[in-house]
Structure 1
Amino acid sequence: MALAVVGGAFLSSALAVLFDRLASRAVVDFIRGKKTTAALLHKLKMNLLSVNKLLDDAEEKQLRDSGVREWLDDLKDVLYRADDLLDEIKTEVLRCKMEQEDSGSSSTNQVLNSSSISIHQLDKRIQEILDELEPIVNAKNVLDLKEGVKDRQRARLATTSLVVESSVYGRDEEKEAISSYC
C-alpha cells in the first residue's frame, strides 16, 4: 500500500515535468507553424490539467478503492507515452540543431522542416495519447473523484512523547520505589 501512495505522489511530479516539457523552447520551436500539431498538444495539455486537479483526491482514495488504483495505473501508462513522445521531439530538435551547426546554415526553421519525424505521424501519436487519456478523464464521475480536493484535515490522534499520568496503570509500586529514593 505504501508503494501506491508513493506512486500517486510520483504522478504529481511526472505531470509537472510534462507541463514543463510542453512549454519548453524545443517543443515550441518544433510545432511553430504546425497548426494541427499545436492544437493537439494544447488539447493534451488541457486534459492533463484536468487530470492534475483530480490527483489529490485519487491519491487519497486509492487505498480504499481498487478502481481508483487502476485509474492511477492507467494514467501513469499514458503519462509515460506522452513523456516518451516529448522526449522524441526534444531529441529531434537537438539533432536538427546539430545538423544546422554542421552545415553552417543560419535558419533553424529550415533544418526543423527537414526533420525525420513526420508531422502526420506525430499528429497520429498525439491523437492516440488523447484517445487513451479521454476515458481516464471521463472516469472521474464513475470513481467519484473531485477536483481541487487538497489538504483535507484527517482525523488523527495527537502525537507526543509526553505521558499522561492519568492513563498509566499498574505502576504504583514502581512509582513509590522511585519516589522514596529521591
Structure 2
Amino acid sequence: MASSEVLDFFRRRKLDDGLLKNLKITLLAVNAVLDDAEEKQITNAAVKRWLDELKDVFYHAEDLLDQIATEALQSKLEAGSQNFMTQVRGFISSSLNPFDKGITSRVKKIIENVELLQNKRSYLA
C-alpha cells in the first residue's frame, strides 16, 4: 500500500508515518467484509449504498496515496539534481508546501470515514 518512497517522504517531512500504517490496517480490516457485502448488496439496497460509500472512501485513499507517491518521486528527483545550497532552499520551501500540511488531515479524515462506515456495518446485518 505505502511504498518505501512514500514512507521516506513522510519521515523527511516529519509527518506521522504511523498514520499511513493506521490507514493500511483500517483498510485491510474493512476489506475482510467486502466479499460478504458484495453478495448481500444484490438483495439489500442499504448494503449497496454502504458499499458504494465505502468504495468512494477507498478511491479517495488511493488518490491520496498516488498524490503522495508522485510528490515523493518529484522530491527525490529534485534532490538528485541539486547541489547542497539548492537542496537547503528546496527543503525550506518544501516545509512550507501546503500539500505537506494537508496530508495529515486528509489521511485522518479517510481513517475516520472508514471507521464510521465500519461501525454502520453492524446495522446492516
TM-score interval (norm. to shorter):
0.7 to 0.9
Instruction: Name the CA shift for 1:98/1:33 in 2 (closer, same or farther; >3 Å).
Output: closer
Match of 1:139 among 92, 105, 120: 120
Equivalent AA in structure 2 for residue 27 of structure 1? V
Counterpart CA distance in 2 for 1:112 and 1:80 is: 30
- Structure showing greater relative contact order (alpha-carbon pairs closer than 8 Å, 6 or more residues apart): 2
Q: Distance in 2 between matches of 1:87 and 1:39?
A: 18
**Higher helix fraction: Structure 1 or Structure 2?**
2
The one of 104, 112, 115 equivalent to 1:123 is 104
Pick the aligned partner of 2:75 from 96, 101, 118: 96
- Residue aligning to 1:82: 61
Shift in CA distance, 89/113, structure 1 to aligned 2, threshold 3 Å: farther
Give the match for residue 55 of structure 1.
34
Cα separation, 1, equivalents of 2:19 and 2:110:
10
CA contact (8 A) 1:37 1:122 kept: no
The superposition leaves residues 56-75 of structure 1 with CA deviations (integer Å, 9 ceiling, x where unpaired) of 11111110111111111101
CA deviation after TM superposition for structure 1 residue 126, in Å: 0.9
State the AA in 1 paired with 2:73.
L
Q: Does structure 2 conserve the Cα–Cα contact (< 8 Å) formed by 1:92 and 1:117?
A: no
| Uncovered stretches (5+) of structure 1, i.e. residues with no partner | 1-18, 145-182
Mapping of 1:103-182 within 5 angstroms?
103-104=82-83, 115=94, 116=97, 118-144=99-125
Q: Structure 1 length as normaliser, TM-score?
A: 0.58
Counterparts of 1:48 and 1:56, CA distance in 2: 14
CA distance in 2, matches of 1:65, 1:35: 45
Tell which structure's C-alpha radius of gyration is larger. Answer: 1
Change beyond 3 A, Cα 1:139–1:120: same
**CA deviation vs aligned residue, 1:112-143 (integer Å, no higher than 9, x gap):** 77533554321111111122212111122111
Q: Secondary structure at the match of 2:25?
A: helix
**Offset, 1:41:** 1.6
The 3 A distance-change label for structure 1 pair 92 and 34 is closer
